[in-house]
Amino acid sequence: MRNSLNFFVVIEGIDGSGKSSVARQVVKVLQDKFKDNVKLTFEPHDPSCAGVFIRQVLMKRIRHVPLSTLALAFAVNRSDHCDREINPFLEKTNGLPRVVICDRYYLSSLVYQSDQNISFTDVMNLNCNARRPDLTIFLNASNKRCYERMRKRQEDKELFETRLNDTKAKYSQAIEFLRSKGDNIIEVNADGNFAEVTHSVLRALDMHSPPWFTIESYPLPLEEEENLFEPKPISIDIIAKEFITTWDYTPLINKNQLLDLLNDQQQIIKNKLVEFDFSNKATLFFEVLKSTGYKVKNKIPWTDIDAFVVEYEMPLGITHHGAALLLDNSQRYDIIFRKLLGAEKVAALDQMSDFLFIFDSNPSHLIGSHYERDMINYTESTSLSPSVFVIDLVLISDVIFSKVLEQFGDFYLQTLMGMPSLREAYSDYKKEHNLKLNLNK
């Protein structure tokens, strides 16, 4: 390790092994102890030119890319990832330990970007500037378990989610290759439920970590989670009520202190939403639509994407028709629009062409603004241009915070009765916050 206070951990596994869900939960557990000194990151690292290119290839928007080109793109992307995220975070310790958990790294490149013409050594030569992990944990799941989990995903399979037997064999070869080069790689059984796999990873971290890295207890009792990809239902009201119980009652002195408190509380909600499973985020998306008067109807039957019919009742008995789309953490615009706007579906689309809501669970800075452009010119015979609204986690958190202000506002105002200026500032903040939540109809 370069610095005794650094711990760079990679979590790897074949598609369907549960690595992304486990990585998020492990980071959540570690943040309870190490706070902001724990960082979750992933590859490909999207905010770079190479990352955008890779994502387009994985979505099959760019086709027929030579494997050597893809290997180079991943290496460039990884170098940028290290330079801009991993290394700066780990090296700014300020005397405190820091941990990075990375979802995929160069072990995956050895598996997916090598063939009879590109050897493991060739791939690692391209990655010569990549930081070596202090520990790599490989989640080893059976084919049956992986297929079960992949079937529950709400999006098309990516480019590499095929031929699990061959992939697992290649991972074994790549692991032995890296071990021969000095990499510290351990394997964890990933056939259990969410809690069991998470516990196994936490135990592995404890056993193969620096002296300062200790976890006193492993949360998540095994009975709390029965399935890796099926979290318990949640709602805007439930989150708001839970949040109210944790409200900071610090005595206030002036307006700036009040505004800082409100902004901090809102940020806490945003951070909480990022940890949610995609199905819970989608549930909150539908609640946002319903809270503004939209009626979510049945799933659109003639496509396998997650698209739902939505209606809005106007005065004089006029009904506007539209659709709601769910996008998971990959920007699959080409797949979404190809399926939704197939020429044979034009007649059906005419019945729901007033508006289109898109829930995109990507971080806001990764969400594109070209939905409508793609739709208008998608095929020679199709011209569909509804009003398009993108709803992201920031907007959903704003809706939840509005509910918090609504439920808690009257009580909180009573605590400010002796301070008219603060009471007025609170009311103005609430009004301004609610104004930006209007969804155009």
Q: Which domains does the chain have, with CATH numbers?
A: 6-224 (3.40.50.300), 235-441 (no CATH)
The Cα–Cα gap between 157 and 362 comes to 17
Nearest alpha-carbon partner for 338 in 61, 62, 150, 153: 61
pLDDT of residue 186: 95
Instruction: Look up residue 431 and give its DSSP letter.
Output: H
pTM of the model: 0.53
| Residue 424 CB neighbours (<10 A) | 12
* Six token digits for residue 365: 């800075």
Q: Which helix (H) or strand (E) holds 282?
A: helix 278-291
pLDDT in tens, the chain (441 residues): 445 788 999 999 987 788 888 888 888 888 888 888 899 888 887 667 787 788 778 767 677 889 999 999 999 999 999 998 899 999 886 778 899 999 999 999 999 999 999 999 999 999 999 999 999 999 998 877 777 766 655 444 443 444 677 888 899 999 999 999 999 999 999 888 888 888 899 999 988 988 888 876 655 533 344 444 444 457 888 888 777 766 655 566 677 877 887 888 888 888 888 777 777 888 888 888 887 788 887 776 555 557 788 888 887 778 887 878 777 654 455 555 555 555 344 444 445 556 778 887 766 544 554 444 344 343 444 444 557 777 888 888 888 888 887 766 555 555 555 677 777 787 788 888 877 776 444
In Å, how far from its chain's centre is CA 36?
18
Helical H segments across 82-193, by residue range:
87-91, 106-112, 120-126, 143-151, 164-180
The Cα–Cα gap between 103 and 137 comes to 10
pLDDT of residue 375: 41
Residue 233 · residue 280 · CB < 8 Å: yes
The alpha-carbon radius of gyration of the chain (Å, integer) is: 24
In Å, how far from its chain's centre is CA 353?
29
